[in-house]
Structure 1
Amino acid sequence: MINLEVPKKFTGLVRQAHQVSKEVLRANSRKYDRAEHSYPKELDMLASLVDGMNDGGGQGAGAAGVRREKSDDDSNRNGSNLSTALGIIEMCWGDVGLLLSMPRQGLGNSAIASVANEEQLERFAGRWAAMAITEPGCGSDSAAIRTTAVKDGDEYILNGEKIYVTAGERADLVVVWATLDKSAGRAAIKSFVVEKGTPGFELVRLEKKLGIKSSDTAAFVLKDCRVPADNLLGDPTVNVEKGFAGVMQTFDNTRPLVAAMAIGLARAALEETRKTLESAGVDIDYDQLVTQQSAAAAEFIRMEADFEAARLLMMEAAWMADNRKPNSLQASMAKAKAGRSCVDISLKCVELCGNFGYTEDSLLEKWARDSKILDIFEGTQQIQQLIIARRLLGKSSAELK
C-alpha cells in the first residue's frame, strides 16, 4: 500500500539536501540570475558531494537518472525514484537553474539510466549528459522529429538541428533523439549519445531566457555527425507494434522529477509569502472557514491546497516507478498539475506581496520567472493533458490528436 509521507530512511537525505540548497544554491541564486551564461563555479564542490552520496549507497539530490530494477520481492519499495524526487524538491527550493547546472546531473543522465544497457551504463558513468529533443519545427510533438540517423557500417550518421538543450554547452555528452526512417513514424525514433567534440556536432548559440538564467540553454547543428553504433540507447530495431515506447520510458521517470522541481519552487514562494503576510498582520487560521478570513488568507490557503495536491501526485508517480508499476498516466498527471500550480502559485505570491514581490528586494519575482519553464519542458501542459486523455479513454495517438 502506498504511503505518501516522506519515508524515514530518506529524512537524512532531505535534511542534507535542504542544508546544501540553503547555503549554496539559495545563497548564489541572485548572483547567477544577473550573470546569465556564467558558469557557477560553486557547483563543482557541490557535484563532488553528490557523487559521494551516490558512491556511499545513497541517492544524490540532483536531476540524476533513475532506473527501475527487476526484483522478485513484491514488498513495498521506496527507492531511487522517490529519493531523487525528494532531493530535487529541496534543491529547487534553493534554485531551479542552479540545480539544472549541476555537473553530471543532467536530463540526459536520466535517459541513459532509463534505457542504457549494462555496458553503456559503465562506459558513460560519471559523465555529464544533456538531452536534445526539441527542433525548430518540432516542439511538444516528439514523434515529429526530423533529425535523421543513417546506419553506415559500425556508425550512424546524424543530420539535423536541435534547440533548447539544457546544459548543452557544459555537458560532456548530449543524448540526441533522431529518426532511423521518417516514413516509419514514432517507431523509428531512437536516442544516441553524442560526445562533445565529435566532428559535425556544432554549438551555434546560447539562448537568452525569461528564467533559469544560471542554466545554459544551447542550440546545435549536426552535419554528417558520425556516432558509434553502440552509442544508440535501447533496441536498434524499428518495431512498429511497439512504437517508440523505449525512448518514451525516459519521460515516465523524468516527468515526476520535473514535477518535483515545480513543487520545490512553489514551496519556496509559499514560505516567503507566509512570512510577508504575517509581518503585515494577516492571520492565516486553519480552524476558521475560508469565507470568514481575509481575502489574502483565503487565497493563501487555496494555494496551499493546490500545492499539496501536486505534491501527492508526484509522490504517487515516483512510488509507482519504484515499485515497477506502469506510471505513464500518473507521471503526466503529476507533471501537468505541478507545472500549472507552480506558475499560478508563484504569480499569485508576487501579487499578494505587492512591491516586495515585484522588485528584486526578494526572490519572489525571480521564482515567478523561473516557474514558467517547469510548465513547458518535458512536455507542455497541453501535451500532458492530451496524454492523460488518451490513457483515460483508451485512445491511441492516431485516434486522439
Structure 2
Amino acid sequence: MNLEVPKKFRPLVNQARQVAENVFRPISRKYDRAEHAYPVELDMLAAIMDGMNDGTLGEGAGAGKLKQDKKKADGIVNSTNMTTVLGLQELCWGDVGLSLTLPRQGLGNAAIAAVANDEQLARFGNKWAAMAITEPGCGSDSAAIRTTAVKDGDEYVLNGEKIYVTSGERAEAVVVWASLDRNIGRAAIKSFVVEKGTPGMEVVRLEKKLGIKASDTAAITFTDCRVPAANLLGSPEINVDQGFAGVMQTFDNTRPVVAAMAVGLAKAALDRSRELLKEYGISARYRTSIKNSSQIEAQLYRYEADWEAARLLTLKAAWMADNGMPNSKEASMSKAKAGRSANAITLGCVELLGSLGYSEDELLEKWARDSKILDIFEGTQQIQQLIIARRLLGKSSAELR
C-alpha cells in the first residue's frame, strides 16, 4: 500500500497549507469574536481558488468540484474526491469556520456536482450554494422532512422551514430538501436549487453558536416559494423501489469531506500541543514504550493513533468514490471516526495544557469548541453507526431503526 500523497496533488496541498497558515490563522480569533461578520479577507482568496479549480481537469480544491462517477474506473484513480479531502484537511488545520465560509466551496455545491445534469451544472456550477436539510422537527432523520414541494405547471411550490443552514445568508443559492408527497415517505424526498432573492424565501434569523462562529448559520422559511421545475436535482419521478438512494448519494460525497475537516482540526490541536509541551521539557520519544512514558506522553501517543485511524478511513472513503466504488458504509465510518476523534483530541489537548489550553491566549480552546459540530452535522455519531450497522448486516432502514 502506497499511503503517500500523490505527487500531482502535492502543490495543491502545499498551497492549502499556506492559506491555512498565512490567511486563516492570523484572522481566526478575530472572526471567532465577531460572530456573523463577513470575513472580507476571503474574497480575493476565493477568486484565487476558482482559478486553481478551473486550471485543472476537474481536480479542484473545493467541495464544489466533487463528482462521484457511477462507473468503475479503469485502473487506479486519484481524482476530485481525494484532492478535496486533502485540501480541506489542510485548510481546516487553519480554521474550520473560515473554510466553511469560502465562496463557492459549500456543501450545496457538492450536492449539485453529485447529481446535477449538464444543463444544471452550467447554470449553477459557478454559484455559491448552501445546503438546507435540517428542520425544527427533523434532525438526524432526514426522511422525516416536512417541507413540501407541490408541482404547479412548470414550477414547484415550496413551503416549510429549514434551520442550521451553513452559509444560508451569504450563499447565492440553497439546495433545499423537500417532499413531493409526504404520504409516500422517504422515496418522495427530492432536492431543489432555490436562488437567493426568490420570492417566498426568507432568512429569518442567524444562529449564535458554540463554535465555527466565522461561518453564518441561518434559519430560512419558504412560503409559497415558486421554483422552476428545471431546478429539481436528479429525477423528478418517485421511485419507491429506489427509495431515498438518489438524494442520499450526496452524503456519500460530503461525509468524507466533513471527516477531512475533523482530521485537519485534530491535527492542529496535536501540533500545537506538542509545541507547547516541548517548551516545558515534555516531548514525544517514540523509541520508548508507552509503559515507560509519562502520562502526558502516553496520552499523546493514543491521540496520534486515533488521529491516524481517522485519516486513513477518510482517505479510503474518498479513494473509493474516485474509483466508482459504492462507499456509503466507508463514508459513514470515516465521518463517525473522525468526528468523534476530533472532539476527543481537541478536548483532551485542552486538558493536557491546563490553564494554557483553556484560555484565549491559545487557539486550543477555540478548536475544542469548533470540533463539536463536526461530530453532529452531515449526520450525528448515532446515525452514522446505524448506517454502518445496516450495511454490515444487510438490513434496510425499515428493518433496522
- Under TM normalisation by the shorter chain, which class is it? over 0.9
**Runs (5+) with no aligned partner, structure 2:** none
Report what 2:127 is aligned to: 127
Matched, 1:48 2:53: no
Cα deviation for residue 21 of structure 1 reads 1.1
The DSSP-based 3-state class of the residue aligned with 1:151 is strand
**Runs (5+) with no aligned partner, structure 1:** none
Q: Are residues 72 and 148 of structure 1, via their aligned partners in 2, closer, same or farther at CA, if it must alter by over 3 Å?
A: closer
> % of aligned pairs identical?
70
Give the Cα separation in 2 of the matches to 1:104 and 1:65.
10
Q: Give the aligned residue type for 1:147.
A: T
Q: Give the aligned residue type for 2:171.
A: A
Cα deviation for residue 61 of structure 1 reads 3.1
Report what 1:196 is aligned to: 196
Aligned partners of 1:311 and 1:338 also within 8 Å: yes
Aligned partners of 2:343 and 2:372 also within 8 Å: yes
Q: Are residues 73 and 302 of structure 1, via their aligned partners in 2, closer, same or farther at CA, if it must alter by over 3 Å?
A: closer
Runs of 4+ residues deviating >6 angstroms = none
Matched, 1:158 2:158: yes
Cα deviation for residue 46 of structure 1 reads 0.6
The residue correspondences of 1:285-364 to structure 2 (distance < 5 A) are: 285-364=285-364
Give the Cα separation in 1 of the matches to 2:266 and 2:3.
19
Cα deviation for residue 62 of structure 1 reads 3.3
Instruction: Deviation per CA, 1:65-123: give whole Å up to 9, x if none.
Output: 40123668511000000001100000000000001001111110000000000000001
Q: Are residues 72 and 316 of structure 1, via their aligned partners in 2, closer, same or farther at CA, if it must alter by over 3 Å?
A: closer
Aligned partners of 1:63 and 1:100 also within 8 Å: no
Q: Give the aligned residue type for 2:79.
A: G
Report what 1:18 is aligned to: 17
Instruction: Deviation per CA, 1:316-354: give whole Å up to 9, x if none.
Output: 000000000000000000000000000000000000011
Cα deviation for residue 3 of structure 1 reads 3.7
Give the Cα separation in 2 of the matches to 1:283 and 1:222.
55
Q: Give the aligned residue type for 2:8.
A: K
What TM-score do the two structures reach when normalised by structure 2?
0.98
Cα deviation for residue 60 of structure 1 reads 3.7
Give the Cα separation in 2 of the matches to 1:288 and 1:57.
45
Give the Cα separation in 1 of the matches to 2:26 and 2:219.
29
Cα deviation for residue 288 of structure 1 reads 1.2
What TM-score do the two structures reach when normalised by structure 1?
0.98
Report what 2:108 is aligned to: 108
Give the Cα separation in 1 of the matches to 2:137 and 2:230.
28
The DSSP-based 3-state class of the residue aligned with 1:183 is coil
Give the Cα separation in 2 of the matches to 1:111 and 1:174.
10
Give the Cα separation in 1 of the matches to 2:359 and 2:106.
31
Give the Cα separation in 1 of the matches to 2:382 and 2:203.
30
Matched, 1:186 2:151: no
Cα deviation for residue 6 of structure 1 reads 1.2
Cα deviation for residue 126 of structure 1 reads 1.0
Cα deviation for residue 283 of structure 1 reads 3.1
Aligned partners of 1:65 and 1:107 also within 8 Å: no
Aligned partners of 1:135 and 1:145 also within 8 Å: yes
Aligned partners of 2:274 and 2:283 also within 8 Å: no
The number of residue pairs the alignment matches comes to 400
The residue correspondences of 1:273-292 to structure 2 (distance < 5 A) are: 273-292=273-292
Cα deviation for residue 279 of structure 1 reads 1.2
